[in-house]
Amino acid sequence: MRSSPARRATIQDVAQSAGVSVSAVSKVLRDAYGVSPEMRAKVTTAIEKLGYRPHAGARGMRGRSFTVGVVLTEMSSPFQPEVVDGINDQLESSPFQAIMTVGGANAERQQRSIEALVDRQVDGLILIAPFVRQPWLEKLAASIPTVVVARHGGGSSYDSVVDDDYEGARLVVDHLAGLGHQRIMHISHPSGGLKRPFVLSQTARCEGYVQAMNRLGLDADVIETTYSEQGGYQATVEALGRSVPPTAIFAGADIAALGALRAAEELGRQVPDDLTVVGYDNIYVTTIGRISLTTVDQSGQLTGTTSARLLLERIEGRSQPVHYVVAPRLIARSTSAPPAVHSGGRGGKRKR
Amino acid sequence: MRSSPARRATIQDVAQSAGVSVSAVSKVLRDAYGVSPEMRAKVTTAIEKLGYRPHAGARGMRGRSFTVGVVLTEMSSPFQPEVVDGINDQLESSPFQAIMTVGGANAERQQRSIEALVDRQVDGLILIAPFVRQPWLEKLAASIPTVVVARHGGGSSYDSVVDDDYEGARLVVDHLAGLGHQRIMHISHPSGGLKRPFVLSQTARCEGYVQAMNRLGLDADVIETTYSEQGGYQATVEALGRSVPPTAIFAGADIAALGALRAAEELGRQVPDDLTVVGYDNIYVTTIGRISLTTVDQSGQLTGTTSARLLLERIEGRSQPVHYVVAPRLIARSTSAPPAVHSGGRGGKRKR
DNA sequence: AAGCCTCTGTGTAACGTTCTACACAACAGG
DNA sequence: CCTGTTGTGTAGAACGTTACACAGAGGCTT
């Protein structure tokens, strides 16, 4: 008459099987001070034999749960999964395990996701592009080690890893201006209610664009829609319908650039001959032949490994904040080229 | 001299603040029998006031953790995130919270991810396209409520939700044959060591293709590479290099179809005039103008909500297995057309 | 030889919940 | 007035782990 069909082995069972005390087993498990080699051997054998695995919930009640929580904003964006891969790679060699939740688009749902993770007693948190309010974030980070990804402005109680979106935008503008473009339109995305300096990528890219344009003495021209195929499409249709349309479109995200490409195609503009289109993110599809989009790469992988490393340091006790900036890289492909020739001085636009 | 800066409120604190016993609070929390309306009111007020949130780890030690674990194989595939969205939607109205881990490509890492979740005392498990071995899976599912997504062959101790990949492949073959194609090549992906009938989508699609071809009296022609842009590219280069090349390529996944498109372009074949290409999955990029791939849709959202529903039923106690099949749907876009004219016999094809 | 370390191992009190068993009150039926 | 019954609340033992406090056993100094 055994109890349940397949009860899980506990630390008790291991202790009994090895003929030692529970505390001794715990010591071995925790790699604590004061275990003889024989002790360790006996215990590990017993663990092996019983297929014992420590119960994270019980662990979390006293010490650590060896779990870190990752909150994503959206999985469909290709950048975030890349970051997650980086995190997992970095954690592989540590005793920590990452668990994720999807926060979703609004601050409230995001907050709920974060709290759910905290309820589950994670030892640390990595938040990707969160738009919860700053005071809430600071308070959260004061109570649990936290690393924030893709949100500018630093913060005093958490670490952060951000792409230098200002610089990325500058790279694009300089590239386009270098090709001879003057009327460069930028497609942006709502700021999510965050105010300077605690802004997400979209806002930083937009500001970087404006600054770079001003420095070159060019007029900034921003259309705010959303970072989506639809958004890019609409913004492009609107811009090309003007009496003096832009010669280049800089979309703040590749996905919007794809919409811009579709709009251009439908309106009979050849890319890059009649119109230059540039994106941002270097998502996978931009590389494939039919698209071959000029874009900016921010290494999601590197961002992920870095943030995991910072989080582990923080869990180990570091408390002064570290803010890490990842340098972006322009990847010129085949959707950018010099603008169409003007007949003479200023004149007409030629289209096919 | 308070203890720590911001200690988390416990059930004790709530009990004290409400002037009742801990057990009473627990009863309210669990909606258990034997609480008077006044009691409930007092307790909920106290909970509100203290901002109390139950500690999932501690809960898990006796009762439920109200957490379900989701294991993905890869996040870069667009199908899996869609499933996750569906799961989250369904769980929104329940007290359960989903946490995810990324299993990765090999069975061993996947197994580790699953175990990590079990260690964290999840109440149930949803596994997306797992290729752990069948006996292991059955044993796991015997000890914890489990739903398996995208793996054929049923199973006696778990529920499953699968796309009818056989039918999907048949839809494609019939579509192509209906257009007049005879030499239809299929790009497949390694089976991951699983044997019939417990196969993953790729194998089912391949088998469905072979059966459909045979039924029409056509010769099956399969190249096994991987479901990746590279894989699709290589297979296509190989096939088009033959003395009698296929007139249509049916890639088992959209991502491979994109590679096929690139290969066709580089080899100077016009799609769909010189070559038809069809994918599977209806991933986002297939919809955009420059690509507009003919493909098969399997609703990831529906798959997700269904599997979450099944899991909740199972957690509530159902034990006989349910196997749910989702019907696929062909989406004809602009990469499929009748084959190029044979000199003589067949009617001419002219497009655009 | 006494005293004092150091090294290993054990006992046991938490940790925050759940849930069974029970106490008590109020009330109904005989 | 006694005996149930029903409804409401509480005590307290788990659950599986950690980590503090301490007990012995030797070995080194004086």
Give residue B245's pLDDT: 97
> Which residues have CB under 8 Å from A259's CB, separation 6+?
A228, A229, A230, A231, A232, A233, A234, A235, A236, A251, B288
- The stretch B248-254 carries a mean pLDDT of 97
Contact B259 A120 (CB under 8 A): no
Band the pLDDT of A6: cuts 50, 70, 90: low
DSSP-H helix ranges across A53-183: 56-62, 79-92, 107-119, 134-143, 165-179
Chain A / chain B CB contacts < 8 angstroms: 135
Which of residues 36-65 of A have CB within 7 Å of strand C? 36, 38-39, 58, 61-62
From A232's Cα to the closest Cα of chain B, the distance in A is: 12
Task: Please report the pLDDT score of residue B6 as a whole number.
Answer: 62
Chain B contact set for A54 (CB, 8 A)? 119
Contacts of B81 in chain A (CB under 8 A): 75-76, 81
The pLDDT value recorded for residue B342 is 57
pLDDT in tens, A142-165: 999 999 999 999 999 999 999 999
Phi-psi region for residue A274, left (φ > 0), alpha (ψ -120 to 50) or beta?
alpha
Which residue out of A7, A119, A229, A319 would a mutagenesis test of the B interface target, given it has the greatest number of B Cβ atoms within 10 Å? A119
Residue A311 has pLDDT above 80, yes or no: yes
Band of pLDDT at residue B77, cut at 50, 70 and 90: confident
pLDDT mean over B52-81: 90
Q: Answer for A12: CB within 7 Å of strand C.
A: no
Which CATH number is A67-163+299-327 given? 3.40.50.2300
Query: Which pLDDT score, from 0 to 100, does residue A70 have?
Result: 97
**Confidence class for position A193, pLDDT limits 50, 70, 90:** confident
pLDDT mean over A21-34: 93
Residue with the larger pLDDT of the pair B164 and B287? B164
B73 close to B128: Cβ distance less than 8 angstroms: yes
The B residues from 207 to 236 touching A (CB cutoff 8 Å) are 229
**Please, is A102 exposed, middle or buried when counting C-beta atoms within 10 Å of its C-beta (0-12, 13-18, 19+)?**
buried
Q: Comparing C-alpha atoms, which of B129, B131, B133, B122 is closest to residue B100?
A: B122
Buried b (16+ CB within 10 A) or exposed e, A216-254: eebebbebebbbbbebbbbbbbebbeeeebbbbbbbbbb
Any atom of strand D under 7 A from CB of B56? no
Distance (Å, whole) CA B273 – CA A22 = 73
Judged against a pLDDT cut of 70, whether residue A252 lies above it is answered with yes
The CATH number of the domain covering residues in B165-294+332-350: 3.40.50.2300
pLDDT tens, A215-248? Answer: 999 999 999 999 988 999 999 999 999 999 999 9
Does residue B244 carry a pLDDT above 60?
A: yes
A 82-101: CB under 8 A from B: 84-85, 88, 97-101
Taking the C-alpha atoms of residue A300 and residue A86, their distance in angstroms, rounded to an integer, is 7
Nearest to B81 among A76, A261, A288 (CB): A76
Domain ranges of chain A: 11-53, 67-163+299-327, 165-294+332-350
CATH (residue range A11-53): 1.10.260.40
Cβ–Cβ of A55/B291 closer than 8 Å? no
Cβ of residue B21 near strand C, that is under 7 Å?
no
Q: pLDDT band at residue A192, thresholds of 50, 70 and 90?
A: confident
State the smallest CA–CA distance between residue A75 and chain B in angstroms.
Answer: 6
Q: Residue B126 corresponds to which amino acid?
A: I
Q: Do residues A239 and A245 lie in contact, with contact meaning Cβ atoms separated by under 8 Å?
A: yes
Let me know how many helices (H) and strands (E) chain B has, helices first: 12, 12
Q: Which residues pair with B148 in a beta bridge?
A: B127, B160
pLDDT for residue B348 is more than 70: no
Q: Which residue of chain A has the CA closest to B271? A: A290
Position B128 pLDDT exceeds 70: yes
Check residue B286 and give its pLDDT. 87
Choose among B61, B85, B261: nearest Cβ to A57.
B61
pLDDT-derived band of residue A348, with 50, 70 and 90 as boundaries? very low
B23 touches strand C (CB under 7 A): yes
Domains A67-163+299-327 and A165-294+332-350 share a fold: yes
Tell me the pLDDT of chain A averaged across its residues.
Answer: 91
Q: Is the C-beta of residue B351 closer than 7 Å to nucleic acid chain D? A: no
DSSP A232: H
Of residues A75 and B253, more confidence is placed in B253
Condensed to tens digits (0 to 9), the pLDDT of residues A35-79 reads 999 999 999 999 999 999 999 999 999 878 999 999 998 787 778
Q: How do residues B288-321 score in pLDDT, each as one tens digit?
A: 777 899 999 998 899 999 999 999 999 998 999 9
* Count of C-beta atoms within a 10 Å radius of residue A348: 9
pLDDT at residue number B98: 96
Distance, angstroms, CA B57 to C1' C25?
A: 37
Residues of chain B neighbouring A55 (CB-CB closer than 8 A): 61, 119, 121
For B54, list phi and psi in degrees, rounded to 5.
-65, 145
SS3 for A283-346 is: CHHHHCCCCCCEEEECCHHHHHHHHHHHHHHHHCCCCCCCEEEECCEEECCCCCCCCCCCCCCC
Q: Which nucleotides of C are covered by protein (CB under 7 A)?
A: 7-12, 14-21
Distances (CA, A) of A126 to A100, A123, A140, A335: 9, 11, 12, 35
Beta-bridged to residue B323, according to DSSP, are B160
Report CB contact under 8 Å: A84, B76. no
pLDDT tens for each residue of B11-62: 999 999 999 999 999 999 999 988 999 999 999 999 999 999 999 999 999 8
- What CA–CA distances, in Å, run from A117 to A113, A321, B83? 6, 22, 21
Q: Is the pLDDT of residue B349 over 50?
A: no
What pLDDT score was predicted for residue A349? Answer: 42
**CA-to-C1' distance for A62 and C14, Å?**
8
A197-213: per-residue pLDDT in tens?
Answer: 999 999 999 999 999 99
Task: Read off the pLDDT band of A350 (50, 70, 90).
Answer: very low
If one compares A5 and B52, the residue with the highest pLDDT of the two is: B52
The answer to whether A153 and A138 have CB atoms below 8 angstroms apart is no
Coil, strand or helix at B205: helix
Please give the DSSP secondary-structure letter assigned to residue B316.
T
State residue A120's pLDDT score: 93
Quote the CA–CA distance of A154 and A141 in Å, as a whole number.
Answer: 12
Q: Do B120 and A102 touch (CB under 8 A)?
A: no
* Averaged confidence pLDDT in chain B: 91
Beta strands at A97-102 and A67-72: parallel, antiparallel or unpaired: parallel
Contact predicate B29/B9, CB 8 Å: no
How far is the alpha carbon of A41 from chain B, nearest alpha carbon, in Å? 23
- On whether any CB of chain B is under 8 Å from the CB of A5, the answer is yes
> Tens digits of per-residue pLDDT, B179-224?
999 999 999 999 888 888 999 999 999 999 999 999 999 999 999 9
| Residue B262 touches partner A, C-beta closer than 8 Å | yes
Distance between CA atoms of residues B27 and B39, nearest Å: 10
Q: Where are the beta strands (DSSP E) in B51-204?
A: 67-72, 97-102, 124-128, 146-149, 159-163, 184-188
* CA pair distance A322, A313, nearest whole angstrom: 10
Q: Which residue is nearest to nucleotide D9 (CA to C1')?
A: B24
Which residue has better confidence, A1 or A268?
Answer: A268
Q: How far is CA A316 from CA A28, A309, A311, B141, B142, in A?
A: 20, 11, 9, 36, 38
pLDDT at A342: 57
Q: How many beta carbons lie within 10 A of that of residue B345, not counting itself?
A: 6
**What DSSP string describes A52-90?**
----HHHHHHHS---EEEEEES-SSSSHHHHHHHHHHHH
CA nearest to nucleotide D7 C1': residue: B34
Whether A291 has its CB under 8 Å from any CB of chain B: the answer is: yes
B223 contacts: CB under 8 Å, gap ≥ 6:
B185, B186, B187, B188, B235, B238, B239
Q: What is the pLDDT of residue B63?
A: 80
